[in-house]
Chain A
């Protein structure tokens, strides 16, 4: 079933993977391979199906259809073999805050059956890697958010997994801590032979990945290296603030044949050579412009070009939908 043609087996192989929760189609047939040693990222708004996909790959959720192998093992039929070969850092913390950092790691080592004489040196190694060796005997309850996340990364690495899954590893952390988490992950990548599969909805973080799959509404809409994805766009992003956005959109269409849309409260469009375009815009648009910004294509633009919306707006829509559904349920309940 899994492809094993040329000897070099993919670290992760996914074929037509589907997950339905009742009527909700969370993942609609995704397909991709991740090579050994690759840093592979899943990018998309909340609710795009990233976490559900990760949960299927790490054997926590059974796929509704399709198959996947991780480290050469089928995620349904060889669940234990998959589990022995993966490390996990979840979106939500899974530490015992009443135990010390060392006790948390020790528990992990015992659950994973690591040879007793290797536990202490390996533990020291991963704790030093994330800079927590000195704090190992403090209860986790006294750790900051960033320290906890680092401890979870150390724990995920403790049993030398072949694939490390990081589900939103930096969510809820301040920018400085996010940077330090990333430097730990990069260092880890340099030191150990490991494949990293991560999800994020921070655009800037996705650029650390070697390849990225952009996910929207349960499907992969684009998959490539970040640079190549950006190159495909070939346009700079221009955002303008005006008093009459609709008039500006109409004028852009008429005078420049540009399709603009409103994103994050500004008239937004893509145009090659954005800086050169700005003077023409002021001269010829005919609608007063209050402010303008030009940016090089980012993954956000890639996301936008494939989905027609920015990540932030996609998340707001998802939140609105959830609220509407809840309202309907409440009213339905009263009737």
Chain B
């Protein structure tokens, strides 16, 4: 992703006089170019940030192996022979993607605090292009997190299987986009980095715990069931877990207990619809983010 400028040494500009360039009126092509560069900037920044890359490697290991191995000792009877790490794997994958996506969205607040946002705000492009580029950038960075998690799959007894991997990849991609849109929607309203992290603590951790990343989403107390059903993360974790369970051999009891599926008023929500919910929420939040960004400043 290096952007070294290639200029032949022979064509020094002194001899050519002033190069006049021209800014064209805005068009779909120019908006697409703007989207692409905003997207690419997120990648450049991610790749330049070694600490962030290291954190993205360490964090899922911590969740998966420390939490998974630790809780395994308590829950071996409850999981009916299924390794707890396998059970929480989809949930941990989703939360890792979610953290990364939220962190990417936070860069909007950062950019505002350090002035760079202004450079984008005064450019002759639609604000929506900036938001879309930002969401795609965040989603792409979060996706690398998802890919790391997919690579770890065999360590928690999830096999490398083409359909499984494509399915997981697709689901985490949708989730990455939706959560970035969610983060951007919040970030646009916030002026200080500290405040953003405060909001993140208040929003991300509850979404994680409520989503069923760590427990089956049935037989919960009523209040928790309600919260669980309105948590967007639920609709990414559940189909991903089903996908995983479809590709490992487990007992029917374990399947029933650990993969009850999500139901709305007793109606079992199919996996495709769940993915649709994630997409719909993502588009809704993207629309809100664009609207907020257009009216701001």
Sampled A-B contacts (21; CB under 8 Å): A58-B122, A84-B23, A84-B24, A84-B25, A85-B23, A92-B115, A92-B118, A94-B117, A96-B45, A97-B114, A102-B4, A110-B34, A112-B23, A113-B29, A115-B22, A121-B7, A121-B11, A125-B18, A137-B4, A160-B20, A160-B23
State the majority secondary structure of interface residues on B: loop
Distance in angstroms between the alpha carbons of A81 and B116 in the assembled complex = 22
Of the stretches B36-44, B65-73, B78-86, B157-165, the one at the interface is B36-44
A215 contacts across to B, CB distance below 8 A: none
Chain A residues with a Cβ closer than 8 Å to the other chain, count: 47
Q: Which of A58, A60, A94 contacts B116 (CB 8 A)?
A: A94
Q: Among the listed A93, A99, A108, A160, which residue makes an inter-chain contact with B22, where contact means beta carbons less than 8 Å apart? A: A160
Q: Is B287 an interface residue (CB 8 A)?
A: no
Task: Check: A106 CB closer than 8 A to any chain B CB.
Answer: yes
**Could you tell me which residues of chain B, from 1 to 47, have a CB within 8 Å of some CB in chain A?**
3-7, 11, 13, 16, 18-26, 29-30, 33-34, 36-37, 41, 44-45
Contact B123 A112 (CB under 8 A): yes
Q: Complex: how many Å from CA A123 to CA B4?
A: 12
CB distance from A120 to the nearest CB of B (A): 5
Does B206 have its Cβ within 8 Å of any Cβ on chain A?
Answer: no
A60 to B120, CA, bound (A): 12
A96 vs B48: C-alpha distance in the bound complex, in angstroms? Answer: 12
Contacts of B120 in A (CB 8 A): 111
**Is the CB of B121 closer than 8 A to any CB of chain A?**
yes
The residues of B with any CB-CB pair to A shorter than 8 Å are 3-7, 11, 13, 16, 18-26, 29-30, 33-34, 36-37, 41, 44-45, 48-49, 111, 114-125, 297
Please tell me if A259 contacts chain B, counting CB pairs below 8 Å.
Answer: no
Shortest beta-carbon distance from A142 to chain B in Å: 13
Complex Cα gap A77–B259 (Å): 58
A9 interface residue per 8 A CB criterion: no
A192 to B19 CA separation, bound complex (whole angstroms) = 9
Cα A99 to Cα B45 with chains together (Å): 7
Q: Which residues from 77 to 112 on chain A have a C-beta closer than 8 Å to any C-beta of chain B?
A: 80-81, 83-85, 88, 90, 92-100, 102-103, 106-108, 110-112
Which B residues are in CB contact (< 8 Å) with A191? Answer: 18
Query: Which one of B11, B29, B124 contacts A112 once the chains associate, using CB atoms below 8 Å?
Result: B124
Check A111 against B41 for contact (C-beta < 8 Å): no
A107's contact among B26, B29, B30, B37, by CB below 8 Å, is which?
Answer: B37
Q: Which residues of the partner chain A approach B3 to less than 8 Å between Cβ atoms?
A: 100, 102-103, 106
Q: Contacts A115-B21, A122-B21, A128-B13 hold; do A108 and B119 have CB atoms under 8 A apart?
A: yes
